[in-house]
Chains A and B, each alone.
Chain A
Amino acid sequence: MSKTPLPDDKAMLDDIAAIVEKTGCERKNLIPVLQNIQDRFLYLSEDAIKILSGHFGLSSCEIYGVATFYNQFRFNPPGKHQVKICLGTACHVKGGDIILENFERKLKIKTGHTTEDREFSIDKVACIGCCALAPAVVIDEKTHAHMTPTKIEGIFLGYEIEKEMKIREEKKRDDKDTPA
């Protein structure tokens, strides 16, 4: 609960004012505004809620109470890659919980949390509607069907390779840029 303003506070104030301006600041606009803020900032920070409280004439406490009621809202920043594990009925019947556990073990975090390097976060989601592909996992926007624990290893290997390639490419570029 720090009192120090964030470096981009001014930007945040402006962004939120614009969102409120566009959506409205009556009570019935509260949830749509919260959704837009989360779309913009990826989560609802304490500062964002406090700024909103001014716009809506509600205590930040009350806004927080409303936001915590709904699954959509998160109060800590998500990882760069969001792992969403479907725990709909069909996925459960086909072992979705085992997949969840393996992700938790692999990333060493619990559901709803983000890894320390902010690379990955894990969330449970209700049916994503590909029951015929159960158990299913959505990472970022891509759906991975018929998941198994070994496939998880493969997925992370893919991300590691991608990261490594990026580093190498950057290095190459840097090497080029710096005159020999």
Chain B
Amino acid sequence: MIDTIIDRINIAYAALKSGADEIAAARKSSPDPKIYIGMATCGRAAGAAEIDGIIRGLLSELDVKADIIHTGCIGHCYAEPIVIVDDPRHGFPPIMYYNVTPGKANLIVRAYIGRGDPLYEHLLGAMTENELIPSVMGFPRFGMEERLVTEHCGHIDPEDIQEYISLGGYSSLARALVMDPIKIIDELKKSGLRGRGGAGFPSWKKLDVAGSAQSEKKIIICNADEGDPGAYMDRTIIESNPHQLLEGMAIAARSIGASSGIIYIRHEYPLAVKIMRKALDDAAGLNLLGNSILGSDFSLDLEIFQGSGAFVCGEETALILSVEGHRGMPRMRPPFPAEKGLGGKPTVINNVKTLSTIPAIIKNGGEWFSKIGTSDSPGTAIFSIVGNVVHAGLVEIPMGVSLRRLIFDICGGIPNQKKFKAVQIGGPSGGCLPEIFLDIPIDFDSILEAGAMMGSGGMVVMDGDTCMVDVARYFLEFTQRESCGKCTFCRIGTKHLLTILEKITKGEGAMSDLDTLESLSKEIRRGSLCGLGKTAPNPVLTTLQYFRSEYIAHIEEKRCPALKCRALTAFYIDLDKCARGCDACVGSCPVECIFTAKGRKKGIDQSVCVKCGECVTACPKEYDAVKRISPAWKVPIVEKIKESH
């Protein structure tokens, strides 16, 4: 009897796979050029839709038949829009073109697809090893990554379930369906997988609690309510490879016996919602979701819930309340959602990255996974690395790689020959780490020990022009705005932290404020109800610890060392450098505060200037006459000449 079920599942999966393989083979054998365009949100923002239109127009103009495939995001945001052309007719491997402008798109179609000129000056590299064009893998940003979760992102059409299946997709689900649920949890336990959503709790524990709970109904939730203002990897995964997430979710659901599930996506991600909707329909259409999946006794219904925009809903209990139609205010735990969650039923909530990792673990075994990364933090880490860094975007690396290697070797370091100052890890819950931490390995515990947090995986690199007091103020402004208002420490405490930081950035702080910041931060950390409040002071505490001298300069000298805080700085025009009669800056000023001084040179009316810095950009490089100075009172006084007619 049992054997027949196993057979049924295996046969059903084999049929799916061979169908998908046929489609893939047909595509592969077609002589038509294949053009892959990255059309995730980041690609579109950079103009990919326009490029798509241009390419299509030209192809029909030249009467060339081509297969245009819209892929997701490959993670190389600095290079968007990205177009990969696979045109075997010319004897070249697939080629990746970067920062494709309308002009480049024109060239790609006319010169490469039309005439076979690969345009060496515009390509980033070849997608495979070959003798003609250097492969992108020789480029550290590609070669030094290890892609486990984002392996197919940017290479496949996220809306084509067949392509995912042809790459072995859903084979882990088929395997999990014939496994004893306990064995699935055991495998995850062996793998050592830790939750990618923030604190890094062992993932198997939640599943184990919910799995052994006695309840006729259990629920699985995927948390894609990515609220960190500088992180977007969850969105990228959904927009680039939604089926891997669905597969992981189905496996997790199977391990606890959940029959329904919710994918909680922010409404700010309309494209991700659209792609996920299609993925759900397609998976259900092939009986990879729904009733008796692949002929087994396991059924799972998944639906999408769109989060309405509240950072705190990333917290499990708040998320559940918002799904139930309430204000998303966290409640005390215990009981934990794994015991008593949505509608009082055992509920397991996992992050997108965690769930997307599961198929690989089931496929290759927990032991295989436990050998990637470090022994305490196995697997890979995915960061969205932004800010003052050359090759910004999404990076997946094995845990244990040092920050220095990630920022400098893989991501190309700091642009414009500026100096590294700090890296902010973990968004509003994380902290700012200075240069001395560059050699620590990236893993849950080392980063926590340094005072930051893996959190959601947002990483912001900052150069010398970044004011650390302002950074702390920025994050506090965020957490304060996103505080739900329930508990005293977070509601009122974060407001005080913000008020004090605002005072300091305006030069109105006192030295005693630093003690208050520190003591209040520690009390908020201890006293708050939920994770949002408990971690909100981290940006303050780390900047206070590692960049205290900057705080002191703001308070005692009214000076912003990074020349960033506007109340403490002023712009002026160096009359020795200003070129007579050059009016470049005048037109750039949005508030018209630049006047003519003696000798047809220029001056800035300090009472009107809004310190936007436009004049700095406008001033020709060879003059470089506009200067910024802090403290503001040190600004040289330039006399306005009386206008005579």
Q: Do A and B bind each other?
A: yes
Interface residues of A (CB under 8 A from B): 26-32, 34-35, 65-66, 69-73, 87-90, 92-93, 95, 98, 101-102, 105-106, 125-134, 136, 143, 145, 148-150, 152-153
Q: Which residues of B contact A126 (CB under 8 A)?
A: 227, 229, 268
B235 and A148: CB pair below 8 A?
A: no
B46 and A145: CB pair below 8 A?
A: yes
Within the complex, which residue of A31, A93, A150 is in contact with B388, where a contact is CB–CB below 8 Å?
Answer: A93
B613 and A35: CB pair below 8 A?
A: no
A66 and B326: CB pair below 8 A?
A: yes
B625 vs chain A, min Cβ distance (A): 18
With A89-B386, A93-B462, A132-B386 as contacts: A69 and B42 at CB distance below 8 Å: no
- List, sorted by A's number, 15 A–B pairs whose CB atoms are closer than 8 Å: A32-B306, A69-B327, A71-B308, A89-B386, A92-B229, A93-B387, A98-B610, A127-B230, A131-B77, A132-B386, A149-B588, A149-B612, A150-B588, A150-B618, A152-B590
Measured in the bound complex, the distance between the Cα atoms of B327 and A31 in whole Å is 10
Contact with A along B563-606 (1 / 0, CB 8 A): 00000000000000000000000001011000000000000000
B470 vs chain A, min Cβ distance (A): 9
Within the complex, which residue of A71, A89, A95, A105 is in contact with B387, where a contact is CB–CB below 8 Å?
Answer: A89
Q: Of all chain B residues, which has the CB nearest A126?
A: B229
B474 and A92: CB pair below 8 A?
A: yes
A41 vs chain B, min Cβ distance (A): 16
Is the CB of B392 closer than 8 A to any CB of chain A?
yes
A129 and B45: CB pair below 8 A?
A: yes
A116 vs chain B, min Cβ distance (A): 21
Within the complex, which residue of A32, A128, A153 is in contact with B305, where a contact is CB–CB below 8 Å?
Answer: A32
A160 vs chain B, min Cβ distance (A): 16
Within the complex, which residue of A66, A127, A136 is in contact with B229, where a contact is CB–CB below 8 Å?
Answer: A127
Measured in the bound complex, the distance between the Cα atoms of B77 and A30 in whole Å is 37
With A28-B325, A65-B327, A98-B612 as contacts: A90 and B393 at CB distance below 8 Å: no
B227 and A143: CB pair below 8 A?
A: no
With A90-B387, A93-B462 as contacts: A101 and B328 at CB distance below 8 Å: no
How many interface contacts (CB-CB < 8 Å) are there between A and B? 140
**Size of B's binding interface in residues, CB under 8 A:** 56
Q: Which residues of B contact A153 (CB under 8 A)?
A: 590
A129 and B41: CB pair below 8 A?
A: yes
SS class, residues of chain A in contact with chain B? helix
With A89-B230, A132-B78, A136-B45 as contacts: A28 and B324 at CB distance below 8 Å: yes
B260 vs chain A, min Cβ distance (A): 12
B612 and A35: CB pair below 8 A?
A: no
Measured in the bound complex, the distance between the Cα atoms of B614 and A153 in whole Å is 12
Is the CB of B384 closer than 8 A to any CB of chain A?
yes
Measured in the bound complex, the distance between the Cα atoms of B324 and A26 in whole Å is 9
Is the CB of B429 closer than 8 A to any CB of chain A?
no
Q: Of all chain B residues, which has the CB nearest A73?
A: B308
Tell me which residues from 224 to 240 in chain B have a Cβ below 8 Å from any Cβ of chain A.
Answer: 227-232, 235-236
Is the CB of B458 closer than 8 A to any CB of chain A?
yes
A107 vs chain B, min Cβ distance (A): 13
Q: Of all chain A residues, which has the CB nearest B466?
A: A93
With A69-B484, A71-B310 as contacts: A132 and B590 at CB distance below 8 Å: no
A145 and B45: CB pair below 8 A?
A: yes
A98 and B613: CB pair below 8 A?
A: yes
Measured in the bound complex, the distance between the Cα atoms of B618 and A153 in whole Å is 15
Q: Which residues of B contact A149 (CB under 8 A)?
A: 588, 590, 612, 614
B386 and A90: CB pair below 8 A?
A: yes
Measured in the bound complex, the distance between the Cα atoms of B625 and A62 in whole Å is 59
Within the complex, which residue of B80, B305, B309, B460 is in contact with A70, where a contact is CB–CB below 8 Å?
Answer: B309
Q: Which residues of A contact B533 (CB under 8 A)?
A: none
Q: Which residues of B contact A30 (CB under 8 A)?
A: 325
B308 and A130: CB pair below 8 A?
A: no
| 9 additional contacts (CB under 8 A) given A35-B267, A70-B322 | A27-B324, A31-B306, A35-B308, A89-B427, A92-B474, A93-B388, A105-B590, A132-B393, A143-B46
Measured in the bound complex, the distance between the Cα atoms of B327 and A147 in whole Å is 36
Measured in the bound complex, the distance between the Cα atoms of B608 and A172 in whole Å is 43
B230 and A72: CB pair below 8 A?
A: no
Q: Which residues of A contact B460 (CB under 8 A)?
A: 89-90, 93
Q: Which 3 A-B pairs have the closest CB atoms?
A: A89-B230, A71-B309, A70-B308
Q: Of all chain B residues, which has the CB nearest A86?
A: B229
A90 vs chain B, min Cβ distance (A): 4
Measured in the bound complex, the distance between the Cα atoms of B228 and A87 in whole Å is 11
A58 vs chain B, min Cβ distance (A): 9
Interface centre among A65, A127, A149, A153 (most CB of B within 10 A): A127
Q: Which residues of B contact A136 (CB under 8 A)?
A: 45
Measured in the bound complex, the distance between the Cα atoms of B130 and A66 in whole Å is 59
Q: Which residues of A contact B462 (CB under 8 A)?
A: 93
Contact with A along B605-634 (1 / 0, CB 8 A): 000001111100110000000000000000
Measured in the bound complex, the distance between the Cα atoms of B618 and A71 in whole Å is 37
Q: Which residues of B contact A69 (CB under 8 A)?
A: 310, 327-329, 484
Measured in the bound complex, the distance between the Cα atoms of B4 and A82 in whole Å is 59
Within the complex, which residue of A31, A125, A152 is in contact with B268, where a contact is CB–CB below 8 Å?
Answer: A125
Q: Of all chain A residues, which has the CB nearest B271?
A: A129
Is the CB of B323 closer than 8 A to any CB of chain A?
yes
Q: Which residues of B contact A35 (CB under 8 A)?
A: 267, 306, 308
Within the complex, which residue of B230, B325, B588, B617 is in contact with A88, where a contact is CB–CB below 8 Å?
Answer: B230
B379 vs chain A, min Cβ distance (A): 24
B392 and A132: CB pair below 8 A?
A: yes
Within the complex, which residue of A125, A128, A131, A148 is in contact with B614, where a contact is CB–CB below 8 Å?
Answer: A148
A130 and B42: CB pair below 8 A?
A: yes
Within the complex, which residue of A88, A102, A133 is in contact with B612, where a contact is CB–CB below 8 Å?
Answer: A102
Measured in the bound complex, the distance between the Cα atoms of B384 and A31 in whole Å is 30
